[in-house]
Amino acid sequence: MPAISVCFVSCSGAAEAEKIGKALVKKRLVACANIVPKISSVYRWNGKVKRSREALLLLKTKKSLHKKIAAEIKKLHSFELPAIEFIEAETTRMAQKWVFGETL
């Protein structure tokens, strides 16, 4: 069984992260959404270095759903350019089976 994917998405706050995570779980695009409610982000935007308080959304899924997940996040997200980053993750066989069983 292939490895799972974890998607990282910075959100404006915990409420937005929960809204997006819940929508993706309901549509079976992700098996799980974890929310880290308070993070500090430093980034360059429009030529200036910015700092903001955000929430981090972590999504567990499989690679074949990346495009659908990204499209759904873009529809629901408040940022002009949401950061949507996928990485491959090694996990236990039972966790892999669960993620693949809970997604399309």
Q: How do residues 5-57 score in pLDDT, each as one tens digit?
A: 999 999 999 999 999 999 999 999 999 999 999 999 999 999 999 999 999 99
Q: State the residue for tokens 């308080």.
A: 53
**Is the pLDDT confidence value at 1 over 90?**
no
Beta bridge partners of 54: 39
User: How far from 92 is each of 41, 62, 89, 97, CA to CA, in Å?
Assistant: 31, 14, 10, 9
**pLDDT bracket for residue 2 (50, 70, 90):** confident
**Phi, psi angles (nearest 5°) of residue 102:** -95, -5
Range of the domain at 75: 4-102
CATH code at position 65:
3.30.70.120
Beta bridge partners of 24: none
Q: State the pTM of this model.
A: 0.96
Q: Indicate the number of domains in the chain.
A: 1
